Amino acid sequence: MRLLGIATEHLARLGPKRVTVVAVAAEAGMTHANVYRYFPSKDALLDAVAGRWLRDIEAYLAGIADAPDPADDKIERLLTALATLQRDALGNEPNLFAVHLDATVAARPIARRHRVRLRSLVERVVEEGIVAGTFSARDRERAIAYIFDASYRFTHPLAIQHDADVPRDLIEARFGAVIHAIQRVLRTGVL
């Protein structure tokens, strides 16, 4: 959709606070009232921009979840990719990351849907690991909750923002240790 392309460019150039529906509409050759027919608010328009990016991330992560690797390798690759893609966005596309962060903190629909899709991918990997005997987790729900709880600091946008000034190699080393702990807990089933 052309409106999303224009809004994406405005967001990258101006930041979320300075993007206006009027300016996006003018560049698209329509009235701002017409934009509001598609998007009920500026937040909805910006969330749609972030949603395109989040769907790309989800598709990439789904490729990892669907790979033929063992489940313990998949969980490591999936969590590492999620953390890396978001940290890269914070550094390379800070305005897009800001919209994602704001939507997450405000629990807007785009963030809630993303969380559900992430949970579904993690659930698939955990289930696969249990069926294959790689994971000994007796309670799938507790295992999934543990993964999200343990990885929060490295995968949640608010925590990523807080650690923006921490050197990348230090974050990666810490996250590597957390991932190994997650794998160990999943293998032993001690939850």
- If one compares 189 and 129, the residue with the highest pLDDT of the two is 129
19-58: pLDDT as tens digits? 999 999 999 999 989 999 999 999 999 999 999 999 999 9
Please, are residues 42 and 66 in contact by the beta-carbon 8 Å criterion?
no
The helix/strand/coil state of 190 is coil
Q: How far apart are CA 189 and CA 191, in angstroms?
A: 6
Question: What pTM does this model have?
Answer: 0.93
Q: Which fold has domain 50-188?
A: Tetracycline Repressor; domain 2 (1.10.357)
Please say whether the beta carbons of 45 and 35 come within 8 A: yes
Confidence band, pLDDT 50/70/90 cuts, at residue 190: confident
Q: Please report the pLDDT score of residue 175 as a whole number.
A: 98
* 62 pLDDT tier (thresholds 50, 70, 90): very high
Buried b (16+ CB within 10 A) or exposed e, 39-52: beebbbbbbbbbbe
Domain boundaries, the chain: 50-188
As to burial, measured by CB atoms within 10 angstroms (0-12 exposed, 13-18 middle, 19+ buried), residue 150 is middle
pLDDT tens sequence across 63-116: 999 999 999 999 999 999 999 999 999 999 999 999 999 999 999 999 999 999
